[in-house]
Amino acid sequence: MRSLLVAELTDFLEGELSGTTTETFTGVSKIDQSIPGSLSFLANDKYEEHIYTTSATVVLVKKDFTPQKELDKTLIRVEDPYLAFCKVLNKYFNPAIAKSGVEPGAVISEKSTLGTNVYIGANTYIDENSTIGNNVKIYPNCHIGSGVTIDDNCLIYANVSIYNDSQIGENTIIHSGAVIGSDGFGHAPQKDGSYVKIPQIGNVVIGKNVEIGSNCSIDRATMGSTVIHDGVRLDNLIQVAHNVEIGAHTVIASQSGISGSTTLGPNCVVGGQVGFAGHITIAKGTKIGAQSGLGRSVTEENTRLFGSPVQPLKDEMRSQIVFRELPQLKEKVEQLEKVINEKNEG
């Protein structure tokens, strides 16, 4: 790891420097477990005591941070120290993006193009008419179909399959075992009870700064495109069916499934094991609790929903209270029935 100038880092983070511009650091560390020559950060006030004893050379702090004691440290003031620290890790300390070159056993069509500083792992196959951008890293045993576009700075981990004509936006990360562009689940029933497969001739379009977890499956559209917009985060083991559209900066937790032609608006938050019926629309900013089931559209923005079938969170909580009291309610009803029967008999 080369030495990094504090001045260079300050410019990268668009921060404000308190200290010398010639200071350098060569690593990172936690503020309470620091080492000399490292960069650390203070984001939570409860850790402030450590900034006065830390061995770190440089510390990222909030813009309004005011030391309560004498402090002989180089500080870089930023809006969000934790976010700034994450940016530093990604740019300077991520070993996954350090590789370059084409390893033995990789097969690349002469009709495809590679950008600069790419890495293609062993046994990866890139079909014809595909375009791989600058600084793209594709780890071993991946399959990249024909006509695929992977824009700059993407990271594709081992054993990923990207089917024909898929488009991957810059700075996107796809984890191992993911399948991008597999056939949508389209089968037309016949009178005899059998099915005819409906050809899936669309593609998948993934925006910028997306992260797709391991073993996710994103189906190509029947016609048109399945679309994952900028900044979406998909956890592991998620199914996205044909012609689905997921709005920008939506986050979906593990084992959720989205049926065909459903649209999720931007900035939604979806818990684990949530199921979406097909052909529905979910409004912007919707937050959905784990194991919920959605069979109809959500039209009101920024609502909190839970349950199966889903309902407003407060209503579901009230329902849960009633459900827990059902045994006692049953007992009371039986007592009332007994009293009524005794009166009728008398």
Q: What is the pLDDT of residues 112-135, one digit of tens each?
A: 999 999 999 999 999 999 999 999
Domain boundary, last residue among 78, 93, 108: 93
The backbone torsions φ and ψ at residue 120, rounded to the nearest 5 degrees and listed phi first, read -125, 115
> What's the domain range around 205?
100-316
**What is the full DSSP assignment across 133-183?**
-TT-EE-TT-EE-TT-EE-TT-EE-TT-EE-TT-EE-TT-EE-TT-EEEEP
Average pLDDT (57-69) is 92
Average pLDDT (236-243) is 98
pLDDT of residue 22: 79
Domain boundary, last residue among 71, 93, 115: 93
Are the beta carbons of 288 and 294 closer than 8 angstroms? yes
pLDDT of residue 60: 95
CA distance 321 to 278: 31
What's at 142, amino acid-wise? Answer: C
pLDDT of residue 47: 92
Alpha-carbon torsion, ordered 112, 115, 118, 120, to 10 deg? 0
Which of these is catalytic: 187, 229, 242, 279?
Answer: 242
CA distance 104 to 120: 9
β-strand 16-18 against 74-78: which pairing, if any? antiparallel
Q: Which distant-in-sequence residues (6+ apart) come within 8 Å of 166 by Cβ?
A: 145, 148, 149, 180, 181, 203, 204, 205, 206, 220
Element (H, E) at 189: strand 187-189
| 111 plus 186 within the same structural domain | yes
| 68 plus 123 within the same structural domain | no
Residue 11 — very low, low, confident or very high, per pLDDT cuts 50/70/90? very high
The yes-or-no verdict on residue 248 having pLDDT over 80 is: yes
| 121 plus 259 within the same structural domain | yes
The yes-or-no verdict on residue 137 having pLDDT over 90 is: yes
50 is catalytic: no
- Tokens 């590679």: give the residue: 114
Is the pTM higher than 0.75? The answer reads yes
